[in-house]
Amino acid sequence: MPKPVVSSIAELRERIQRLEGGAGRARKVLPFGLPQIDRRLPGGGLALGCLHEVAGGGNGAVDGAAAALFAAGVAARTRGKVLWCVTRQDLFAPALAQAGLLPGRVIFVEAGDEKALLACMEEGLRHGGLGAVVGEVARLSMTASRRLQLAAEGSGTIGIAVRRWRRATEVADFGQPTASVTRWRVSVLPSEPLPVPGVGRPRWLLELIRCRAGESADFEVESCDAQGRIALFSEMAGGSPQTESGRRRASS
């Protein structure tokens, strides 16, 4: 006897969801705790069990460091150990701690090259016992990102690819399509002014430049605190954003 039509449709939907990488299933999310940002993300936060990309707004070291601290803040708000993969020994652990990611939670892996680094990331994502897996890469192909995305889906662990470049010619690779669910860009802004001489809390221009099943947006935020949480500017949180010429404001 032929299968009932309803049963056939259900099977077809299940196959489509598998081909889409489970996009039709409800995923657990990690909210930022800021409605202005969370409402831009499907489910109200960063999807767990997915790959996300973060890059600095330029090819300089300052914006690159801000991207790494943003990733550290996300990882800090997960549970369990965090695997952080690098190809060069220039990661500053005290800075990660200021963003909420304490050294005792981090397992550092120094890979010989980016091919080995991607393999370490994939293995970490497949393990399933980690809070997050972070890897610093210059290039990320569709094939490599798809492998990381599938590994993250299978374990439920969040993966973060921090895009760091050694030369200006590598920046263009960030515009190429990947399987990442979201893609962020972080640029440094002048720090928060203080009533006395000194340097206030750092500020970033945080751009959500790609979001699967979501919208692009940009926000001016204060950098991660000791719990890994970002905040909107105080004047914006109070509902009275200034209208300085040339300043980019958080999308409403």
Largest CA distance in the chain: 82
* Domain range list for the chain: 33-237
CA 202 to chain centre: 19
pLDDT in tens, 88-111: 888 889 999 999 999 999 999 999
Domain 33-237, CATH class in plain words: alpha beta
Residue 150 burial by CB count (10 A; 0-12/13-18/19+): exposed, middle or buried? middle
Q: Give the integer Cα–Cα distance in Å for 36 and 69.
A: 21
Residue-by-residue DSSP string for 52-76: EEEEESSSSHHHHHHHHHHHHHHHH
pTM for the model stands at 0.81
pLDDT in tens, 33-79: 999 999 999 999 999 999 999 999 876 778 889 999 999 999 999 99
pLDDT in tens, 124-181: 999 989 999 999 999 999 999 999 999 999 999 999 999 987 766 667 777 789 999 9
Q: Give the integer Cα–Cα distance in Å for 52 and 243.
A: 32
- Which DSSP state fits 156? -
User: What mean pLDDT value characterizes the chain?
Assistant: 84
pLDDT in tens, 79-89: 999 999 999 88
Buried b (16+ CB within 10 A) or exposed e, 151-166: bbbebebbbbbbbbbe
